[in-house]
Amino acid sequence: MTAEGTNPGGETSSAGWTAAWELLLPTSAAPAGRRGQVLQEALREAVRSGRLAAGTRLPPSRELARDLGVSRGLVTDAYEQLTAEGYLVSVRGAGTWAGDAARPVPGSGAPAPAARRAAEFDLRPLGADLSLFPRSRWAAAQRRVLERAAHAELGYPDPRGLPELREELVRLLARRRGVVAAPEQVVVCAGVAQALSLLGLTLRGRGRRTVAVERPGPAELPELFDAVGLRAVPVPVDGQGLDARALEETGARLAVLTPAHQFPTGVACSPTRRSELLDWARRRDGLLVEDDYDGDFRYDRQPVGALQGLDPERVAYTGSVSKSLAPALRLGWLVVPPALVEPVAARKRLLDLGHPGLDQAVLAELLRRGEYDRQLRRCQRAYRERRDVLVAALGRWFPAARVTGVAAGLHAIVTLPARYGPTALFVERAARGGVALRALAEHGLPEAADGSVRLVLGFAHLPPGRLAEAVARLAECVDARSG
Ligand SMILES: Cc1ncc(COP(=O)(O)O)c(C=O)c1O
């Protein structure tokens, strides 16, 4: 195998390496005389089991030795030994990678060998860059919260959420998104996902049977609503947002939409469409549910205010920290018209007895101290730069590419001329070359009539250098065909 084939551009912090890292930890704990052997066994096992995927770059020996607290010689010996055995591939002066010679032992439960090259670059819309999570600020706030919490605060929390968090959220959402609400209208919940299921359950209890969803839209929504007894009816999205006339025809009285930055097309709901949708809600005694999943991030202008602010009686609003902090927190909010607060909170109580109180207190602390705003600014800077890098790299390698949707959020829609297609083949060729892609068709749209290749590319989770490399690699994978 040549150096090209083994990811010379890979980073030591790649997902494959992280997944294998814990297998190596016993090395540090082993008696001094056995450490070399333990490290070699652990590396062999990591490659054999697939946890260290073929093509994953290993850290330089000096770095790994420092991390494991062993001598550098011990690591270089291990690399040399495993290279000789075929588990690793080394190129002098360039680095060491996991090789692809090893096969899982039958019946060991290890994953089957990959039919294609492991994805070295993932350009699917994967969300936030989790390395931007403010670990030390979160940890410090957690300590402060624990130090001052009375014993009683360790009991079951208010199912609507901690009052101090709801107050902070109302201030934040009014200031940044133009949301109009009293703290009593906020229910703290496990992200947008839970907000939608709580609201779905509540409205199912009030006789609703259908919910209109955007097409294209988030792929999971029909199943989520099915689980709470609602049938999802897809409604087309055009260049102005959710099609209000088509919505009318569904007969639904409940609709979920992403007005700030439609997912996935990236369209911003126009002022005219906003008023048509609000008219629909007023005429039909309907409710619009505004999923403001990435509304904080707009790069060409101030973010457009929330639809909710135009009619708080007709629009419920939901968002979360999944794009600004981390999805692992499962921390989000639902703002509902006053009449829905109690029924929604009752379901929250029934399902999980309230949201984890300590995490809520930590978020309230970050909000109070202005640290959450700082985090938003930091993400905004990073993501704006990454979007620019993506657009520039596409311009260089795919001059015919069109990037559509407003400059916002964490993903973009990219369309390539039909000569690159069909889409399925394009995605497959990219996968074989180590680049994972998501076709727009996966969000419920048929293929484009003109045969063009439409992709939903995520840019926020990759550092700028990796993004540029990913696009260059993509060009390499498809060049032969597109000329
Ligand atoms: C359209 C949309 N809504 C909401 C979310 C976030 O969901 P949650 O807040 O449950 O993490 C996502 C996540 O990627 C999304 O794409």
Percent of the chain with pLDDT over 70: 92
Q: Tokens in use for 281?
A: 């809600």
pLDDT at 107 over 50: no
The domain that contains 288 carries what CATH number?
A: 3.40.640.10
User: Region 340-359: what's the mean pLDDT?
Assistant: 98
Residues 245 and 359 in one domain: yes
Indicate which residue's Cα is closest to atom 15 of ligand 1: 293
Of the CA atoms within 13 Å of residue 70, those in its CB half-sphere come to 28
Q: What is the pLDDT of residues 270-323, one digit of tens each?
A: 999 999 999 999 999 999 999 999 999 999 999 999 999 999 999 999 999 999
Domain of 304 in residue numbering reads as: 133-370
Distance CA 53, CA 121 (A): 13
- The confidence score (pLDDT) of residue 47 equals 85
Cβ–ligand 1 contact at 290 (below 6 Å): no
- The confidence score (pLDDT) of residue 379 equals 98
Task: Please give the helix or strand (H or E) that residue 224 lies within, else none.
Answer: helix 221-227
- The confidence score (pLDDT) of residue 89 equals 82
User: Region 168-177: what's the mean pLDDT?
Assistant: 98
Our count of domains for the chain comes to 3
pLDDT at 482 over 90: no
Residues 331 and 386 in one domain: no
Pick from 14-18, 105-109, 163-167: least confident: 105-109
User: Region 228-257: what's the mean pLDDT?
Assistant: 98
Considering the domain boundaries, does residue 123 fall inside one? no
- The confidence score (pLDDT) of residue 182 equals 98
Residues 344 and 386 in one domain: no
Single out the residue in 50, 81, 116 at which a domain terminates.
116
pLDDT at 2 over 90: no
Best residue among 126, 129, 169, 192 to mutate for probing ligand 1's pocket (most ligand atoms within 8 Å of CB) is 192
Residues 353 and 239 in one domain: yes
Cβ–ligand 1 contact at 291 (below 6 Å): yes
Residues 381 and 365 in one domain: no
Considering the domain boundaries, does residue 121 fall inside one? no
Distance CA 480, CA 433 (A): 12
Nearest to 241 by CA among 214, 219, 218: 214
pLDDT at 198 over 90: yes
Give the SS3 label for residue 98: strand
DSSP assignment of 335-366, as one string? E--HHHHHHHHHHHHHHHSS--HHHHHHHHHH
β pairing state of 241-242 and 254-257: unpaired
pLDDT at 132 over 70: yes
Q: Is 216 exposed, middle or buried (0-12, 13-18, 19+ CB in 10 A)?
A: buried
Distance CA 12, CA 448 (A): 39
Residues 201 and 226 in one domain: yes
Residues 253 and 147 in one domain: yes
Indicate which residue's Cα is closest to atom 3 of ligand 1: 293
Q: What is the pLDDT of residues 23-68, one digit of tens each?
A: 787 888 888 888 999 999 888 888 888 778 777 888 889 988 888 8
pLDDT at 112 over 70: no
User: Region 434-443: what's the mean pLDDT?
Assistant: 96
**Amino acid found at 412:** A
317 CA → ligand 1 middle, Å: 13
The domain that contains 460 carries what CATH number?
A: 3.90.1150.10
Q: Is 225 exposed, middle or buried (0-12, 13-18, 19+ CB in 10 A)?
A: buried
Classify the phi-psi angles of 180: left when phi > 0, otherwise alpha if psi is within -120 to 50, otherwise beta. beta
Indicate which residue's Cα is closest to atom 5 of ligand 1: 293
- The confidence score (pLDDT) of residue 117 equals 61
User: Do 218 and 202 touch, CB atoms closer than 8 A?
Assistant: no
Residues 6+ apart with CB under 8 A from 234: 212, 213, 214, 215, 217, 222, 444
Residues 358 and 393 in one domain: no
Q: In Å, how far from its chain's centre is CA 467?
A: 16
Cβ–ligand 1 contact at 189 (below 6 Å): no
- The confidence score (pLDDT) of residue 116 equals 55
Distance CA 397, CA 113 (A): 31
Considering the domain boundaries, does residue 81 fall inside one? yes
Pick from 65-74, 135-144, 150-159, 387-396: least confident: 65-74
- The confidence score (pLDDT) of residue 18 equals 67
- The confidence score (pLDDT) of residue 157 equals 97
- The confidence score (pLDDT) of residue 168 equals 98
67 CA → ligand 1 middle, Å: 35
- The confidence score (pLDDT) of residue 312 equals 98
195 CA → ligand 1 middle, Å: 10
Q: What is the pLDDT of residues 85-100, one digit of tens each?
A: 888 887 777 788 888 7
213 CA → ligand 1 middle, Å: 14
User: Region 238-261: what's the mean pLDDT?
Assistant: 98
Mean pLDDT of the chain: 91
Cβ–ligand 1 contact at 416 (below 6 Å): no
Residues 327 and 414 in one domain: no
- The confidence score (pLDDT) of residue 113 equals 41
Give me Rg for the CA atoms of the chain.
25
Single out the residue in 341, 370, 399 at which a domain terminates.
370
- The confidence score (pLDDT) of residue 10 equals 39
192 CA → ligand 1 middle, Å: 6
User: Region 329-334: what's the mean pLDDT?
Assistant: 98
Considering the domain boundaries, does residue 124 fall inside one? no
Residues 85 and 196 in one domain: no
Residues 170 and 271 in one domain: yes
Residues 98 and 153 in one domain: no
pLDDT at 121 over 90: yes
- Pick the residue with more confidence: 3 or 56? 56
